[in-house]
Structure 1
Amino acid sequence: MSNPYAEIFRAPGAKGFSAAGFLARLPIAMAPIGIVAMLSQTHGEYWLAGAVSATFALTNALISPHVSRMVDRLGQTAVVVPTTTVSVFAFFALIAAANQNWPDWTLFVTAFLAAAMPSMPALLRARWTEIFRDRPELNTAFAFESSADELVYIAGASLSVGLGVALFPEAGMLASTIFLALGTLAFIVQRSTEPRLRHTDVEVSQGSAIRLRAVQIITLALVFVGSTFATAEVSAVAITKELGQPNAATIVIGVYAIGSFVLGLILGAFNPTMPLHRQMFIAVSALAITSWPLLMAATVPLLALTVFVSGIAISPTFITAFGLIERRVPASMLTEGVTWVTTGIGIGMALGAFVAGWVVDSFGAENGFWVSVVASAATVAIIGLGQRSLAGTTAECPVDPLAQPAE
């Protein structure tokens, strides 16, 4: 049996843009938790750290779909170069503001400007689509990207926290900014794989991808999934610090990735035949069930074990979510459609970081994981109620976001 992943990387340029893209998207995960790790050490207040992180993540989540719509209309190079330049300089200013103890308002302003960062996961999927459009290899490429996204969200966060704790408070954010600059530059100079522009009547008539019912459901669900990520990260930092082992936060967050990443690659290689909407419901149900043991993590080893178990369901959730989006969004709107999913994750991480930080400050580090329990339960409810729409049994056409579901 041939390796399906080896097959997709035989395409000209695939290895190059994929490697560059992986580096460039590390800041998606490194920046939000890196801001928390940096400011909690330099300013000593979790609420401030969570609020600044939320400002960046929430603004980026709201801006990214509009940036991606511009990419669909103007091309990757024309949009990515200026937006990334703004983001890189703003990140450097944020690091300086933290290091030099500038007024608190400068932290929020620089975090807001740094949010111009484009959605690299969407740009990568658009390139894979350009290479394998209407070919079976495209499904394998999407599965690889979903697993890579999961690894970025978990391993990137671990790297950011580890650098900030082991070296100096700004180390994680400094590394994140360098990855963004160098990775994006390496990605954008590879013009041979850049998607050609497609301006179709379908795209014009349907408007924004968020008007599609499936996109609305999955985006909302991923808001709560993103909250579980941020909660695990903030709570892990707070609990390990309270237990007198702050360096252990790197290990605790890192184990999130191990089982989930491997399971994601297996699912991508074997391509289960169960309908994606049912796979996603099972995945989010597992996420909800495994969040409860997190409340009993009173030692670092137990914390690492419960976080590992909780992380198993993450990659399947990602794979099925992106798979459903890619089947429900027109090809000419793919960049924006995928971006709405990452928008949901970004909003969730922003809100999760803020709420978890407030809970930790107000009720103690051991209670931070209650945010994960509530968020994962909400995800199950959303996906469960949306099964009919996700299955494609309702009309797949643009709808008003405020309209009532089809009966």
Structure 2
Amino acid sequence: RRAAGWLALSGLVMGVGAGLKLTNATFALALCAALLTVGGGWWQRLRLSLVFGVAVLAGLAAAAGHWFLRMWLMFGNPLFPQMNDVFRSPLAQPVGVADTAHLPHNLAEALLWPFIFTLDGHRVSELVMRQMIWPVVYVLFIALAVRLLAGRLRGAGTGASASAAAGDATAGRERLLLVFFALGYLGWLKLFGIYRYLVPLELLAPLTVWLLLQRLCKPQLARRAGAWALTLCAIVVFPFSAWSHSGWTAAGFTADDPGLADPSSSLVYTVHGDPPMGWMATLLPPQVPVVALAGGFPESPAYLERIRALAASRHGTHYVMLVAAANHEELTLAKKNQLASWLGQTGSDAACARLERMMAKVRFHVGVEPLAAPDGPRCRLALLPQYRIDLAARNLALQRKAAEDLQRYGLRLRPDSCRVHRAAIGTEPYPYQLCEVDK
């Protein structure tokens, strides 16, 4: 009963996690299956697995049940538009809507996947982070599988360390972790292949390497090999790129009011899925419906008919909302100039020469620009030519692309009506364009 209680609590937490982020469901399934491998009789293991599974469903219902119900009542698909090949909502194509771009292309790639995405991080992520621990843990799992198979064929154990582990009270917990890790990886490999969905296993990878070495080697060798392997894997990951972070503000999301003439009868379209603009819909007047076109949604004839009916009911001005060009390098330029001035690197010709030598050795995307003023700073930092952007030309290109997309829906963009407005996430500006559309 005590074990069942703890499993019910952990299953509830796992279910809440899956409800908040559905990609975690693969790990809930992996752990539910891994519980069948712990010690005790078959019926006891099955009962514990069932307790955990029911608790997962309860946590899932608590975290996302209200949303599933709302989507079901509105669209006839609790995961709309995902898995519409199963639920067949008329407002989307009957497809599963799965991102397969990051999956292995064939069986050979699937078998070598940890090596492939370690060498080419772009196969699984937009950002590159070289994690050498994945080939290490993969090879160790294969070595353990070969050793277990050889021992089974010989009718013997798997070696001294494995035999000792089998008699240890912690062997069942180690087996649970290793089986969970393997099943979680296989589920991720089959469904996603996107690295950020693998983070739960990434956190467990060092411990998994350590446990595998304990089963494969004598204790002293296992400790030494584990220390060296984990240290080297930690070092190899540097340097790495990151998404960076926006500075904190009182309001996380802000946008200028575009001043719509009659929000109660207006309509706003969006026409690109990347970068996403759904967050902007919450900042427009609440009576204005926002409709996504040409954004990758699996549109069905019923969906298009619903859009036409909505458009016909809105007799005011129709708009299209587009992203506006912004040079994020310019945002950090002022801070870099302030830092250079504070360090005393702009007040004399000698200091400017020293600053120029420094900028030639670091990747700050800036160069040193001399100033002719007789007093004040003698130089300043300026963006290198390749990092300067013609914002007006970029906005015009975005308008032309949007006009092509809108034509497919019988709509015409009016370029002369386009205006750029401010919007931001934290301190990071994400300006947008609003243009009028002829019906």
TM-score (norm 1): 0.23
Q: Which has the larger radius of gyration?
A: 2
Q: Considering Cα pairs closer than 8 Å and 6+ residues apart, tell me whether 1 or 2 has the greater RCO.
A: 1
The structure that is strand-richer by fraction is: 2
The structure that is helix-richer by fraction is: 1
